[in-house]
Amino acid sequence: MNAMLDRDFGTPPSTSETRVSVEIDGMRIEVPAGTSVMRAAAEAGVSIPKLCATDTLDAFGSCRLCLVEIDGRAGTPASCTTPVAEGMRIHTQTNKLKSLRRGVMELYISDHPLDCLTCSANGDCELQDMAGAVGLREVRYGFDGANHLSAPKDESNPYFTFDASKCIVCSRCVRACDEVQGTLALTVSGRGFESKIAASADQSFLDSECVSCGACVKACPTATLTEKTVIEIGQPERSVLTTCAYCGVGCSFKAQVRGNEVVRMVPHDDGKANRGHSCVKGRFAWGYATHPDRVLTPLVRDRIDQPWREASWEEAVGRIASEFRRIQSKYGKDSVGAVTSSRCTNEETFLVQKMVRAVFGNNNVDTCARVCHSPTGYGLKQTFGTSAGTQDFDSVMQADVMVVIGANPTDGHPVFASRMKRRLRQGAKLIVIDPRRIDLVRTPHIEASHHLQLRPGTNVAIINALAHVIVTEGLVNEAFVRERCDLPEFSTWAQFVAEARNSPEATESITGVPAATVRAAARLYATGGNGAIYYGLGVTEHSQGTTMVMGIANLAMATGNIGRPGVGVNPLRGQNNVQGSCDMGSFPHEFAGYRHVSDEATRELFEDIWGVPLASEPGLRIPNMFDAALEGSFKGMFIQGEDFAQSDPDTQHVVAGLSAMECVVVHDLFLNETAKYAHVFLPGASFLEKDGTFTNAERRISRVRKVMPPRAGLADWQAVMAVCQALGYPMQYEHPSQIMDEIARTTPSFTGVSYAKLDELGSIQWPCNDKAPTGTPVMHSAGFVRGKGRFIVTEYVPTEERSTARFPLLLTTGRILSQYNVGTQTRRTANSQWHEQDLLEIHPHDAEQRGIRDGDRVRVASRTGATELRAEITDRVAPGVVYTTFHHPDTHINVVTTDFSDWATNCPEYKVTAVQVLPSNGTAAARS
């Protein structure tokens, strides 16, 4: 067994609370009822040979290697499929068993290429291990009979190979694809000697439905399915436990390394966010870290029309310090600010906001969460008292009804989507509220009970209509509301939603969703058992984003779906550390832990520790920084890991704002679009090159551990320290653990967090303090953090962005599995094979009206701007709606989006833009 892999107990654990006592090879052991004999033996330290069993999959019992003898039972049952029974006496090592196992292995080996010494899996092959374990020394049948040794290799997938000649048809891959990933892309085709593994309709892996999650590769006990990097680089020598840096699921991985080179990323079975699973990005798309485009030396220039010049860290940092001081003395203390990154660690984010507050002396700090989940923070704080989701991911396994609103988990949060699908296959019900028919609506063995295909921009009308049904049909959980919520506010809200204008019938013409569907969905959510709401940017990125978050919270409270496993309100956070960057005080009005800057006690606490007076007025938000730049009062900006020129709404405004500044600093891995407007570029460190923590969508704090030294010399936290030092504010941290200690000292929800505890527990969900020393998986269980749950009236106010005769279609945007955000990382990996360009999805009816054929280049124009891309004709979108992803810079979709934003948080209204789409004449410029 490879020491770098997680220990394999052969079959999944039993959750039974009844204990059963058995004797294995003379040893007595107690295990939960339902445990397999194989697992009980493993827990007693006895390894039973096995090939088709692994503890991440249900037992299958096909290889016949794990035979045992049981007193009083005839024959030699398979230990993986035999559950323990009280008083059982089991023998695992009799002569009879040894001989039977050797016979089974002989059959396998006689049809297997004997190239162990040159095989890429040498040392990491269960077949090889088992041949040794059963003491096989010779193969009596010879190797001349019919065999599969010349079976073809499928090398179509960019990340792994399928070498059929090595396949023992144990079906672990098939079961991994079914049970763990839920894609059902693989089958065993044929029978007996002819049986083989087939992808989809016996296609190549690349052409099949396979989504390259790697679950089958991990499950394969032989070299049949192998990572290409293992073949190229060789078996890894060491392993470092770390956390994926892509999305808010926060999967835990073992980075397996040879020298300083990552050989593969293996999802960690004990990772509480992913439970041993991964998606194509975290599993395979880490090659960007060593891509030749990485900038590894600081760059400086006096003006943005000049070429970059390489500089030492000392010169670059000195330049930032002298420029920021010059700007502040000329334009005032408030003329500079910074933006933290949701890609960076908690510790790095904390340091950047500390630099702004303690060193710049203002509160001009903001984060990219502004453009995604700021309405979640504000909305949930107002209603529940905490700016975060309420559950852990495990909770979904106890949900009876899932409501997915404005999120596309199979593409945006794939590993969590696999958990959802597993629960849905077990019989949980699904309601999807989305303008587009996302994959979850209908996927193998899953069909949503209701798809509320609403018009973009009408979320609040739908949530009010759902609430109307719940209130007027007597479906409110009155006991919960009476005990847990503020009653006068509930009454006001109930009266409001009960008004006829909020009924499904009255709102049907607004939302486009048939009233009967809304009524049925509301009844299902309110009465179907545990109801859990999951939502994404399709909720927040609207002019009423915050209102919708409040509406969701109202619905959960009214039905009592809050405060226990299986229920809750769960934002699916986009970036790996967007929760953390918000927690760490990245907003201009809040210190770490969401405490207002005007709060004197909090200010004093930080003033004491930081040794400087702190400003009590909130600083500028990102859009206001650009406004102020254009007005001439904001001149210096430190931007860590963020590409505004690419990812913010209304690109022209951003570019004009950046161009008006005198010192723009970009701290990143690559020279991104924003760097075109920068004066100093600091090379960033990838997640493989630093220590720290990320906090995922379930408030789970997980360690990021250094796998290799920072390629540019300094980790991001060290670079920020150097800037502070140059500005005359020395910092003394020797390791990010000391920054976490300061966070714990100053932030009530983090008081119990330390690197030592993270090492001990693996990960911790905040709040973690005296009351909850090991963290809090489910929030608001005994009462809401704010005391009584607060119902807030959510009046539907249509966005000012309307379709008109000139711009008759509504454009909305989303993600695709293989790419990530603006593609800075994923486009620098083989993931580009799956999504070479962004496409505009348009309904056949709208396409026909405009003479657009599938694949045609089209021009998408709004009142803000225009861009071009290729059309994909599909009925995934309703008539009147068009949809695109935003992963490619040349798409420039943000040229088209407007500057409307959420009333409470300024989160841009990315999800609704009135556009016209026409065939391109082929000569138009990409932008107007």
Distances (CA, A) of 729 to 315, 520, 652, 738: 17, 61, 36, 17
Contacts of ligand FES in 303-322 (CB under 6 A): none
SS3 per residue for 617-660: CCCCCHHHHHHHHHHCCCCEEEEECCCHHHHCCCHHHHHHHHHC
134 scored as a contact of ligand FES (CB under 6 A): no
Q: Indicate which of ligand FES, ligand SF4, none lies near residue 641 (CB less than 5 to 8 Å, by partner kind).
A: none
In the complex, least distance from residue 197 CB atom to ligand SF4, rounded to whole angstroms: 5
80's contact among ligand SF4, ligand FES, none, with CB below 5 to 8 A by partner kind, is ligand FES
Q: Does 380 bind ligand FES (CB under 6 A)?
A: no
Distance CA 536, CA 552 (A): 12
Q: Strand 153-154 to strand 160-163: parallel, antiparallel, or no bridges (unpaired)?
A: antiparallel
Q: How far apart are the first and last CA of the chain?
A: 61
d(CA 617, CA 566): 41
Rounded to 5 degrees, φ, ψ at 430 are -135, 135
**What is the signed CA dihedral for 594, 598, 601, 602, rounded to 10 degrees?**
30
Q: Which is nearer to ligand SF4, 163 or 541 (CB)?
A: 163
Q: Is 65 in the site for ligand FES (CB under 6 A)?
A: yes
Task: Produce one character per residue of 492-518: b if its CB has 16 or more CB atoms within 10 Å, e if not.
Answer: ebbebbeeeebbbebbbebbbbebebb
Contact pick of 12, 13, 34, 61 for ligand FES (by CB under 6 A): 61
For residue 696, which amino acid is it? N
- Among 907, 342, 365, smallest CA distance to 585 is for 365
Q: Which residues contact 293 (CB under 8 A, 6 or more apart)?
A: 670, 671, 828
Q: Output 63 or 415, the one with its CB closest to ligand FES.
A: 63
Q: Which residue has the tokens 């054929």?
A: 853
Q: How far is the CB of 371 from ligand SF4 (least distance, A)?
A: 19
Minimal distance, residue 50 CB to ligand FES, in Å: 3
Segment lying near ligand FES (by CB under 6 A), choices 44-52, 258-266, 345-353, 800-808:
44-52
Count interface residues toward ligand FES (CB under 6 A): 12
Which CB sits closer to ligand SF4, 224 or 579? 224
Residue 62, contacted partner among ligand SF4, ligand FES, none, CB below 5-8 A by kind: ligand FES
Q: Which is nearer to ligand FES, 80 or 842 (CB)?
A: 80
Give the shortest CB-658-to-ligand SF4 separation in angstroms. Answer: 29
Residue 685 binds which entry of ligand SF4, ligand FES, none, with Cβ cut-offs from 5 to 8 Å by kind? none
Q: Which of 42, 51, 553, 701 binds ligand FES (CB under 6 A)?
A: 51
Nearer of residues 77 and 919 to ligand FES, judged by Cβ: 77
Q: What DSSP character marks residue 14? A: P
Q: Does 80 bind ligand FES (CB under 6 A)?
A: yes
* Residue 169 interacting partner from ligand FES, ligand SF4, none (CB closer than 5 to 8 Å by kind): ligand SF4
* CA 576/CA 578 separation, integer angstroms: 6
Distance CA 438, CA 772 (A): 38
Count the Cβ atoms, other than its own, within 10 Å of residue 235.
16
- Report the residue from 22, 66, 481, 714 that binds ligand FES according to the rule CB under 6 A: 66
Nearer to ligand FES, 76 or 826 (CB): 76
Q: Which of 29, 41, 42, 50 binds ligand FES (CB under 6 A)?
A: 50
C-alpha gyration radius of the chain: 29
Q: Which of 323, 320, 348, 368 lies closest to 721, judged by CA? A: 348
Nearer to ligand FES by Cβ, of 51 and 402: the residue is 51
- Side chain identity at residue 734, one-letter code: E
The stretch among 51-59, 104-112, 590-598, 810-818 that binds ligand FES (CB under 6 A) is 51-59
Residue 63 contacts which entry, ligand SF4, ligand FES, none (Cβ below 5-8 A, type-dependent): ligand FES
**Residue number with the smallest Cβ distance to ligand SF4:** 282
Residue 300 main-chain phi, psi, to 5 deg:
-140, 160
By CB under 6 A, name the binding residues for ligand SF4: 167-173, 176-177, 181, 183, 185-186, 197, 210-216, 219-220, 222, 224-225, 244, 246-247, 249-251, 274, 278-279, 281-282, 414-415
Nearest approach, Cβ of residue 128 and ligand SF4 (Å): 13
Closer to ligand SF4 by CB, 81 or 561: give it.
81
In this complex, which beta carbon is closest to ligand SF4, that of residue 418 or of residue 913?
418
Q: Are 577 and 608 in contact (CB under 8 A)?
A: no
Query: Which residue from 63, 371, 584, 663 is in contact with ligand FES, where contact means CB under 6 A?
Result: 63
Report d(CA 171, CA 174) in Å as an integer: 5
CB 217 within 8 A of CB 226: yes
53 binds ligand FES (CB under 6 A): yes
The listed partner (ligand SF4, ligand FES, none) that binds 185, CB under 5 to 8 Å by sort, is ligand SF4
Beta strands, E only, 200-237: 225-227
Rounded to the nearest whole angstrom, what is the least distance from the CB of residue 38 to ligand FES in the complex?
Answer: 7
Interaction between residue 105 and ligand FES (CB under 6 A):
no
Of 50-58, 94-102, 226-234, 497-505: span binding ligand FES (CB under 6 A)? 50-58
List Cβ neighbours of 211 (8 Å cut-off, separation of 6 or more). 181, 183, 185, 279, 280, 414, 817
65 binds, among ligand FES, ligand SF4, none (CB under 5 to 8 A by kind): ligand FES
Choose between 282 and 692: whose C-beta lies nearer to ligand SF4.
Answer: 282
User: Closest separation between CB of residue 831 and ligand SF4, Å?
Assistant: 11
Measured from the CB atom, the residue of 170 and 847 that comes closer to ligand FES is 170
Task: Report yes or no: 90 and 72 within 8 Å, Cβ to Cβ.
Answer: no
Pick the closer one to ligand SF4 by CB: 255 or 481.
255
**Nearest CB to ligand FES, comparing residues 62 and 864:** 62
SS3 label, residue 477: coil
Q: Which stretch binds ligand FES (CB under 6 A): 64-72, 654-662, 812-820, 829-837?
A: 64-72
If binding is defined by CB under 6 A, does position 52 make contact with ligand FES? yes
Is the Cβ of residue 276 or residue 657 nearer to ligand SF4 in the bound state? Answer: 276
CA distance 34 to 47: 19
Place of tokens 């069909």: 447
Per rule CB under 6 A, is residue 173 in the interface with ligand FES? no
Q: Residue with structure tokens 């792994």?
A: 160
Taking the complex as a whole, how short is the minimal distance between the CB of residue 11 and ligand FES, in angstroms? 9
Pick what 64 binds: ligand FES, ligand SF4, none; C-beta below 5 to 8 Å, kind-dependent.
Answer: ligand FES
Distances (CA, A) of 461 to 134, 154, 486: 66, 51, 23
* Closest distance to ligand SF4 from the beta carbon of 255 (Å): 12
Closer by beta carbon to ligand SF4, 274 or else 503: 274
Other C-beta atoms closer than 10 Å to the C-beta of 189 total 12
Q: Does 12 bind ligand FES (CB under 6 A)?
A: no
Residue 405, token pair as written in the block:
């609103």
Nearer to ligand SF4, 43 or 209 (CB): 209
Nearer to ligand SF4 among residue 219 and residue 597 (C-beta): 219
Residue length of the chain:
928
Number of H helices, E strands in the chain: 28, 37
Distance, in Å, from the CA atom of 662 to the CA atom of 389, rounded to the nearest integer, reads 40
Could you give the 3-state DSSP secondary structure of residue 613? coil
Contact residues toward ligand FES (CB under 6 A) are 50-53, 61-66, 78, 80
